[in-house]
Amino acid sequence: MLAKYLLRRVLATVPVVIGVTLITFLIMHVTAGSYIPGVDLNPALKPEDIEAIKRYLGLDRPLYLQYLTWLGGIVHGDFGRSMIDGSPVSSHILDRLPATLELTITAILLGVLISIPLGVTGALRRGSKIDHALTAMSVAGFAVPAFWFGLMLILVFSVFLESKGLPFLPSGGVMTPGTNGGDLLDRLVHLILPATVLSFVYLSIWSRFTRSSMLEVLSQDYVRTARAKGMSERRVVYLHALRNAVIPLVTLVGLELPALVSGGLVVEVVFSWPGIGKLLYERALQTDYTTVLGITTFAALLVVLGNLLADVLYAILDPRIRYS
């Protein structure tokens, strides 16, 4: 039943988690070798000192032990320490996570809520001018580089409007400096542009996908049965068909989560949005490898969690999964 299915899904994530942490660990340690922060900067360090530091940091132990320490740390929420100032990565992540979640979840909701009507319209009016227009828009939307789109929107809705003395949208940040985040409207206004940019690309993909999913469903036998029962076309489309057509969309959104988080990074940078993506970027510019590694691992785990949630939603929507 549902519980068994969920348990299976949770268990299935364990190897993925191990795999992900292993991959990030390997990329870091095997390729960068054993690095010591700041070693190059201090010529007075003697080889024995370097050895001592290595031993202290545990870098002389066999690789698998290092990995297990790393994994163990993650299980406890320890994602390493910054190379620059030794601060724990996890505290930075916790600081910035809410902003990223705010942005990502809003983008997903926006994307799904707009894609479904667009996709259904395209399917119902297949081959018509509207369908062609929607398809053209989605193909174009998918080709627009997110960062450029963000810049353009800022140019138009922020800089240009402001220069004309018209009401304008903020060009960055979560809230107006000075307020302390309590003003909901202010936060919403700041959210508009970044969420729009992030959801834009996915809108294009998802609406086309909904369209083809809908077309596929509409050609199914059970839709013919519904019509044979004398159900009105509206009922057939919005009750019998749509209910089936959105199921693969859930899977697709789940599959796109890594890309969404990736895209989120770029959007966060363009809009100075204080999320974990921007954090990673800042630290990358400072060549703070360990923080970058820690955040990457965390982001991957976040995606795994998101997929799990998508699986739950899928099971709710599709009874065939629940009862098998």
Partner 1 sequence: MISPLPLEGEIAPEPVVRARQSRSYWEESRERLLNNRFGVAAGLVLVFFVVVALLAPVLSALFTHTDSRTIDLANTFAPPLQGGHILGTDELGRDELTRLLFGAQVSMGIGFLSVVVALTVGATVGLVAGYYGGIIDGVLMRFVDMILAIPAIFLFILMALLFKPNTVTLALIIASVGWGSIARLVRGEVLSVRTRDFMVATKALGASDARLIVRHLLPNVLHVLIVYGSLYLAQVVLIEASLDFLGLGITPPTPSWGNMLTNSDTYFFHSSWLVIWPGVTIFLSVLAANLFGNALRDAFDPRLR
Partner 2 sequence: MTETLLEVRDLKTQFATRDGVVKAVDGVSFELEAGETLGIVGESGSGKSVTALSIMRLVPPPGRIVGGHVKLKDRDLTTISEGEMQEVRGESIAMIFQDPMTSLNPVFRVGWQVAEPLIVHDEKKRQSAMGQATAMLGKVGIPHPGQRSKDYPHQFSGGMRQRAMIAMGLTTMPEVLIADEPTTALDVTIQAQILDLLDQVNREFGTATILITHNLGVVAGMCERVIVMYAGRIVESGPTADVFAHPRHPYTWSLLRSIPRLDADRHEPLQAISGIPPDLIELPSGCAFHPRCTFRVDRCSRDVPHLERVGETQMAACWVTQGGRDLNA
Positions touching partner 1 (CB under 8 A) are: 15-16, 19-20, 22-24, 27-28, 31-32, 126-127, 139-140, 142-148, 151-152, 154-155, 159, 163, 212, 215-216, 258-259, 261-263, 265-266, 269, 277, 280-281, 284-285, 287, 289, 292-293, 295-296, 299-300, 303-304, 307
**Residues in contact with partner 2, total (CB under 8 A)?**
24
What are the φ and ψ backbone dihedral angles of 81, each rounded to 5 degrees? -125, 150
Q: Which is nearer to partner 2, 34 or 128 (CB)?
A: 128
Give the Cβ contact number of residue 315 at 10 Å: 19
Which of partner 1, partner 2, none lies near 83, with the C-beta cut-off 5 to 8 A by kind?
Answer: none
Q: Which residues pair with 88 in a beta bridge?
A: 81
Measure the CA–CA gap between 174 and 221, rounded to whole angstroms: 49
Q: Which residues contact 46 (CB under 8 A, 6 or more apart)?
A: none
Stretch that binds partner 2, among 69-77, 85-93, 171-179, 315-323 (CB under 8 A): 315-323
Q: What is the dihedral angle through the alpha carbons of 83, 281, 192, 96, rounded to the nearest 10 degrees?
A: -10
Give the Cβ contact number of residue 97 at 10 Å: 16
Per CB under 8 A, contacts with partner 2 among 245-304 are 247
Q: Which of 171, 244, 296, 307 binds partner 2 (CB under 8 A)?
A: 244
148 touches partner 2 (CB under 8 A): no
235 touches partner 2 (CB under 8 A): yes
Q: How far is the CB of 319 from partner 2 (least distance, A)?
A: 5
Q: Which is nearer to partner 1, 28 or 120 (CB)?
A: 28
Q: Which element (helix H / strand E) includes 105?
A: helix 89-124
Measure the CA–CA gap between 306 and 105, rounded to whole angstroms: 11
Measure the CA–CA gap between 37 and 257, rounded to whole angstroms: 33
Measure the CA–CA gap between 101 and 121, rounded to whole angstroms: 30
Stretch that binds partner 2, among 147-155, 169-177, 233-241, 260-268 (CB under 8 A): 233-241
Residue 48 one-letter amino acid:
E
DSSP three-state, residue 234: helix
Which of partner 1, partner 2, none lies near 240, with the C-beta cut-off 5 to 8 A by kind?
Answer: partner 2
Q: How many Cα atoms sit within 13 Å of 110 on the Cβ side?
A: 21
Q: Which is nearer to partner 1, 135 or 231 (CB)?
A: 135
240 touches partner 2 (CB under 8 A): yes
129 alpha-carbon distance from chain centroid:
33
Q: Which of 34, 179, 232, 287 binds partner 2 (CB under 8 A)?
A: 232
Which of partner 1, partner 2, none lies near 145, with the C-beta cut-off 5 to 8 A by kind?
Answer: partner 1
Q: How far is the CB of 239 from partner 1 (least distance, A)?
A: 23
CB 257 within 8 A of CB 310: yes
Binding site for partner 2 (CB under 8 A): 220-222, 224-233, 235, 240, 243-244, 247, 317-320, 323-324
